[in-house]
Amino acid sequence: MKKDRELIQEFQNGDEEAFNELVRKYLDLVHGFFQKITNDEMEAEDLAQTVFIKLYKSLKKFRFESEFNTYLYRVNANTANTYFKRNKWRNIIHLDQIIEPVYKDDKQDREWKKEEVMNAVSKLPKKQRLVVMIRISEMLPFKDIGNILHMSEGTAKVNFHHGMKRIKTLLGIIE
């Protein structure tokens, strides 16, 4: 199996199939990430498509200054961030409408609905939101999260801590 670097170089030389190979390789990761942060399967697929379209445009100028993995997570996080911003507006616009029945998981040990959690995440400041999203969906170490978001490990930890604290408040959890 070809390495990411080789595939990207082939794509940069005009081989479209190399890009398709990259899509095959990383689709589960990207799609899985968006499945976690959205309620709608179609929406997750649309967001994954947006990520790969962005990659198609940007990989032609990719200079291998960072690992492709890191770059991919960054694109994922930015796309998710845009999705949350858009969704926040959607929530404001439809305040007067009846709330549809939300997704409820069948496992008994879950205390909150997915929509409640993501609604709380969407209300966080940008940096906290990005760190929390990557941490809870991908379980990456803070060092990697720092690399992805161009911040130090310590800053990532602090942002995560503040973000989780705020989510607790928004979910009505009293410590």
Partner 1 sequence: MNFESKIRQTLSNSARIIDKEQFINNLTTARHEQKLKRSQAISGILAACLIIIIGVGSYFELDGGAIYSGGNFYFSDSNISNIDFDEFNLNSDNYFIDDLAIYIIEEEDDIWTAFTFLDEIEYDNFINYMEES
Cα–Cα distances in Å, from 140 out to 22, 29, 30, 33, 153? 21, 13, 14, 12, 12
CA distance 128 to 118: 13
The identity of residue 103, as a single letter, is Y
Compute the least distance from the CB of residue 65 to partner 1, in Å: 25
Binding mask 120-149 toward partner 1 (x if CB under 8 A, else -) reads: ---------------xxx-x----------
Binding mask 7-46 toward partner 1 (x if CB under 8 A, else -) reads: -------------x--xx--xx--xx--xxx---x---x-
Dihedral sign (CA 131, 132, 134, 138):
positive
The total number of residues shown for the chain amounts to: 175
Query: Quick check: 76 binds partner 1 (CB under 8 A)?
Result: no
Binding site for partner 1 (CB under 8 A): 20, 23-24, 27-28, 31-32, 35-37, 41, 45, 48-49, 52-53, 56, 105, 107, 109-114, 117-118, 135-137, 139, 164, 167-168, 173
